[in-house]
Structure 1
Amino acid sequence: MNRPLNSPAIKVVKSVREQVSPEEWQTRVDLAACYRLTAMYGMTEMIANHISCRVPGSHDQFLINPYGMLYEEIDASCLIKVDIEGNTLFNASEYGVNAAGFVIHSAIHMAKPEMECVAHTHTPAGMAVSAMECGLLPLAQTSMRFLHVAYHDFEGIADDVGERERLVADLGDHEAMVLRNHGLLVVGRTVPSTFNLLYRMERACEVQVMALSCNTKLIRPPQNVLEATFDRMKPRVDLPNRNGELAWPALLRKLDRVDPSYRN
């Protein structure tokens, strides 16, 4: 007697895009683009460092990179969703979250609900300036955007949750902070504004390292001119050129010409 063949089991696996809200997916795409741009402009240290963004509609969840992937590999689907207590809520990658990255980023996301995105780098210029007693100097127009920045003293590897309170206290109301003997940290209301701030802070550090290496007397504009310039360069919602929104579509077009896989 012939027996009917059983149909093979078919496992339907939903894509990450199908498992998250449209708002979260768009945030994932923008954050992945930010990682790729950071790599494209040479602001990475292999698999180290982090850029995070709050999950839309939440107050205690954010997206961050898998610890083990290069920035140039990051796409929208691989980003890990965690909460401020350190619980992994969604992870489609084979990696986990770096402890130091969690401490630094959770501190900001907990304390500053108005700031959606946080970026931290270890670039040569940023680390060099972080070791200078003088701090970040207003040597050129780009640098004057950072006339007033925060500083946080080095406490060792930032994997102690006890440091979160001190990080936030030192950051205060600033959008940029020099982590002494460590690197740079910026926070923004959007992913585009955060990348814009990171790029310009890095450029300011590069200018400083180059200028100081010339062993010549440097010109410092009067303080009133510095203050006026700083005020003219601060982000404003109604001026997209100041918060990175004007440049962001052009940056995405640049990425799409090179490799659009960040959208996957």
Structure 2
Amino acid sequence: MARFSKVCMKKSGFCLAGLLLAACANPPEERAAPAAPVGCAPPSEFGGYIFWLEPPAVLPGASIDLTPWFTRRPGMVEPVPPACLEDVAISGPATLGPGGRTILIDADAAPGAAIQLQGRVGESSLSGRMLVYLEEALPLVGTWAQPEAACAASGAEPVRELIFHPDGTFSLTWTPFEIYKDYWGGYAFEDGRLQLSPEDGNHIPADAAFTGTAELVGGALRLPPGLFGSPRQGTACAEPFSR
């Protein structure tokens, strides 16, 4: 080592040139850029990306894993690998969890608060919205349906989709197809009494009372068939709803 240093001191120009040549001859290894996730290309040139069809209602302290979907037309969706979702940004009482694709709702999030989401799949952007609610204050919030087999056994047509939102709106559908709904509007539930106030629809039953007793027993919702009326074909089912 001492001899090498001495030679270098005498011939510093040659040593410097040698070091430069060595650096050029052995460049540092470059790491390859991470490959793009497989299956992130749009499955069609027509359509776009969404987070969900119906804005979800969330409880304080909840954790929501984000999954993007591709829709070619309203109501028809195809799953997209979660790894394709990038650059997620949120506003409202929530934080982004590890990995950047999980939403952690604040434990003290106020009922009625809105959480806005934005993200990107490839060059396409997508956005969504969630509403915070308290179950004890709004026990009907969620998607309910009557049992197919039990209703069929009695020769009745089940309601396959009854959705109550935390903003006081609802929709009811006997046979969901794409974005079709039978009717929708506002609702009020107080002291065991449910009031539906249809605002519009494709089929608003003429025989519906739109008001009546609603019982929540063991996770089941019991509504008298006369409250929501009869379908276009067949008779209304009296079986309880479940989520």
Taking structure 2 as the reference length, the TM-score comes to 0.30
Structure richer in helix, relative to its length:
1
**What's the TM-score once normalised by structure 1's chain length?**
0.28
Higher strand share: 2
Instruction: Point out which structure has higher relative CO (alpha carbons under 8 A, 6+ apart).
Output: 1
